Structure 1
Amino acid sequence: MNLDKVFFQNLMKDLFSDPCEVKYWDGDVVNYGGGAAQFRIKFKEPLSKSEMISDPSLAFGEGYMQRKIDIEGNIQQVIEFLFNNQDSFLHQKNKFVKLVNIFSNNIRKSKENIQYHYDIGNDFYRLWLDETMTYSCAYFKSPEDSLTLAQKNKVDHILRKLNLQSGQTLLDIGCGWGELILNAAKTYQVKALGITLSSEQYSRVLERIQEESLQELVEVQLIDYRELKNRTFDRIVSVGMIEHVGKENIKEYFSTVQVLLNKGGASLLHSITGYEEGGTNSWINKYIFPGGYIPVIQELVNHIAENSFYLIDLESMREHYTRTLEHWAENFEKSLALIQTMKDETFIRMWRLYLCSCAASFHCGNLDLHQLLFTKGVNNLWPMTRQNIYS
């Protein structure tokens, strides 16, 4: 009896309660879940049993990257089936969100981590992001909104929340390719500073500032937020950045914002959040976002309170991120022919799995996306309703 095959047969039976077909490395085909197969998994060779038991996300992810496993069907749907099967050992043993080792994200290490993910080429990102080159959760006012419109909606939504006034100063920590600071300057006539650790993003923001003749209102610096000295701001925004600082540095992030923000000023934090403490998925940490950490919502709220900030608005945008990731994954596949001229097959399979698994995580509620708006001290002049956001 082939013990490897017996192990994986039992594993597939445990993992998938939905109808599926599994083809093993010896050519044997087995149906699970009953009914017509909704997807097919092909094992070209057995994976390590010990790795599947101790860290299934890493073992499965590497197996797919290395073409030991193939999936025929909607990868996002397959992963959602895994997440939704509450009776499988993944949930019983809480293995799928295995806690990774926590390393200190000092300034040098933070820069290395950011460059690993974001400095792989603006030309690559341009193929599957929207026209604004915005790499964070969009905001869909309607299911029919294009990705570009939804990203513009998101920037507008944030700027409205910040209640910007002409002549104020704005800091964007982790400014990406500059869409938010450029729009803040053009729409509200504020003086905006964007900071990033990505040299690719920095270069593009500089170009955009010149192209739109916004040198008097907008600047960008290639700098860590902890290195920003002797300046304060009326508004501070951070979109999709705090997930990179690491658990041990979240306290420092909020204390730094406390120093940089003027009294009575406001800050908006746009962050992926979790519901259970546990670090981050080990495959994501190894291959996609090294040094990353997804905070739980109560963790962020506690830090806000500990720094004497006043939380004035909290919004979940979970399904907006599901839809955003689905757009990215679709654009990625549409651009596959061009991507294949830039990247090898291992990278492509890695990126495909990343986009699809994240979409599944948000859709199933394993992850959320929250915007938290808070002021430094009491601000009794702040609008008493949310009408300014939606009118």
Structure 2
Amino acid sequence: MSHMMKAFIRKGQLTVIDAAGKRHVFSGTPGPEVTMRLTEPKLYRSLVFNSELAAGEAYMDGTLRFEEGSTLRDFLQLFSLNRLSLGAYPVQKFIRSIKMRFRNRQQSNIKGEAQRNVAHHYDVGNDFYKLFLDDNMLYSCAYFRDPEETLEQAQRNKLRLLASKLCLRPGMKVLDIGCGWGDLALYLAQLEDVEVLGVTLSKEQQALATERAKAAGLEGRVRFELRDYRDVDETFDRIVSVGMFEHVGVQHYDEFFKKVNALMPDDGIAVLHSIGHMSPPGMASAWLRKYIFPGAYSPALSEVFEVVEQNSLWVSDLEFLRVHYATTLKHWCERFDKNRDKVVAMYDERFARMWEFYLISCEMMFRTGSQLVFHMQLSRTRDAAPIVRDYITDRQKAYIVREQTLNLAL
């Protein structure tokens, strides 16, 4: 383990207090300084052969602790800053090459299995998510036009940006694939005279979204169904999907884009909001797959473009949100921390530690790692959307005025 740690820490300093109380200091160039204690000798080996899974589980179990003023956030920042040197360590490279052979199995999301994977994460209870999400329960990257904006303002910015890229017109039919708790669908129907179908595989989300549509008086134009997008057979003028593509799996990309193509007319437009990464194709962390998102994977753009091209779709616009998710996650972390006692009361300490590890590690992946969010606008014809991009900014300005006129509260 000491040999790997010396190769791992290139920036900052990590002090490890082993189970016998002996201190081991690993230093690189100036950077964060972290002190952690390992209370189980068996961790030495597991941290070498399965670093991310072992570290996450040890924190959840309390066998990896932080001392002398260090925190989990400090450790995960140090980890993220040195991730490339860890990946280059010979043992890690070999293990990764073996795991890559089983990548398709890790990302399996066939019908039935996809619903079980979604239920694992999203059906833990709506009351839990209310503890750290914004008031409208948007569980995806917000759009901060100003770093001082509230989370609620930034999430409304995101909805407005997506609506602008959809080029909506009265009378259109819209499909929201992976509709979450329904706020995007409701916003679109309030903003424009359109009909929206939202589909989700989460029973909890579908139930609450349906309640919200009824409360808003929109049940005649907005409906939410517990349905796999692959079972949808209607035609839609516009399709939007936010935070769902990460659950598709590379081997199902062709199936996804074929379905999107089939559901649109020639002048249709689809907008895909997804996490991706700027590095070559890889796989999700073992810890994230086991405890948070079974079957999930955030793609390299090269993996997406290849399949889009094979399905004869035009990419009419592409935008990268590079730091917005880090800011979003920081807001979620702060709200989670304020309600941590409630989380422990609802579940237990181990569950709270698991979510701390998840939220903070994801923030670091977007702040110092390779993760990003992309908006990909797709169409079957080259001129379905305006050919000058100014319309996106113009529509956002017009929608701000319309929101004020309609008194659409955040």
- Same structural fold, with TM-score higher than 0.5 when normalized by the shorter chain: yes
User: Which of 157, 164, 173 is matched with 1:160 structurally?
Assistant: 164
> Is residue 2:273 matched to residue 1:270?
yes
User: Which of 80, 84, 89 is matched with 2:81 structurally?
Assistant: 84
Write the deviation string for residues 200-236 of structure 1: whole angstroms up to 9, x where unpaired: 000001100110000221011100001112x100100
User: Which of 277, 280, 284 is matched with 1:280 structurally?
Assistant: 284
For 1:52, give the aligned amino acid.
Answer: L
User: Which of 221, 234, 253 is matched with 2:237 structurally?
Assistant: 234
> Is residue 2:196 matched to residue 1:201?
no
Say which is worse superposed, 272-281 or 151-160, in terms of deviation: 272-281
Aligned residues: 383
Matched residues in 1 for 2:376 and 2:339: separation?
Answer: 35
Write the deviation string for residues 125-162 of structure 1: whole angstroms up to 9, x where unpaired: 00001101000000000000111111111011100111
Q: Give me the identity figure in percent.
A: 36
Give the SS at the match of 1:262. coil
- Aligned ranges 1:183-202 → 2 under 5 Å: 183-202=187-206
Partner of 1:4: none
For 1:75, give the aligned amino acid.
Answer: L
Say which is worse superposed, 66-75 or 126-135, in terms of deviation: 66-75
User: Which of 128, 146, 150 is matched with 1:146 structurally?
Assistant: 150
Matched residues in 1 for 2:120 and 2:84: separation?
Answer: 37
Alpha-carbon distance, 1:49 to partner: 4.2
Partner of 1:27: 21
Please, what TM-score do these two structures have when normalized by structure 2? 0.88
Give the SS at the match of 1:128. coil
Matched residues in 2 for 1:175 and 1:321: separation?
Answer: 19
- Residue pair 2:268, 2:384 contacting (<8 A) in 1 also: no
Alpha-carbon distance, 1:165 to partner: 1.0
User: Which of 18, 32, 35 is matched with 2:12 structurally?
Assistant: 18
Cα root mean square deviation, aligned: 2.1
Write the deviation string for residues 73-113 of structure 1: whole angstroms up to 9, x where unpaired: 34334223223236734334455976464333211000000
- Residue pair 1:21, 1:37 contacting (<8 A) in 2 also: no
Give the SS at the match of 2:267. strand
Give the SS at the match of 1:233. coil
Matched residues in 2 for 1:31 and 1:55: separation?
Answer: 21
Give the SS at the match of 1:133. coil
- Residue pair 1:246, 1:293 contacting (<8 A) in 2 also: yes
Gaps of 5+ in 1: 1-6
Q: Which of structure 1's runs of 4+ aligned residues deviate more than 6 A?
A: 34-37
Matched residues in 1 for 2:274 and 2:315: separation?
Answer: 15
Alpha-carbon distance, 1:315 to partner: 0.8
Matched residues in 2 for 1:286 and 1:296: separation?
Answer: 21
Partner of 1:67: 62
Matched residues in 2 for 1:67 and 1:88: separation?
Answer: 26
For 2:211, give the aligned amino acid.
Answer: E
**Closer, same or farther: CA 364–223 of 1 in aligned 2, 3 Å:** same
Alpha-carbon distance, 1:48 to partner: 4.0
Write the deviation string for residues 209-267 of structure 1: whole angstroms up to 9, x where unpaired: 110000221011100001112x1001000001011111211110000001111211100
Matched residues in 2 for 1:77 and 1:373: separation?
Answer: 37
- Aligned ranges 1:1-391 → 2 under 5 Å: 7=1, 9-16=2-9, 17-33=11-27, 38-72=33-67, 73-85=70-82, 88-93=85-90, 95=93, 99=100, 101-103=103-105, 104-229=108-233, 231-274=234-277, 275-379=279-383, 382-389=386-393, 390-391=396-397
Alpha-carbon distance, 1:194 to partner: 0.3
Matched residues in 2 for 1:297 and 1:106: separation?
Answer: 22
- Residue pair 2:213, 2:219 contacting (<8 A) in 1 also: yes
**Closer, same or farther: CA 23–298 of 1 in aligned 2, 3 Å:** same
**Closer, same or farther: CA 202–38 of 1 in aligned 2, 3 Å:** same
Please, what TM-score do these two structures have when normalized by structure 1? 0.92
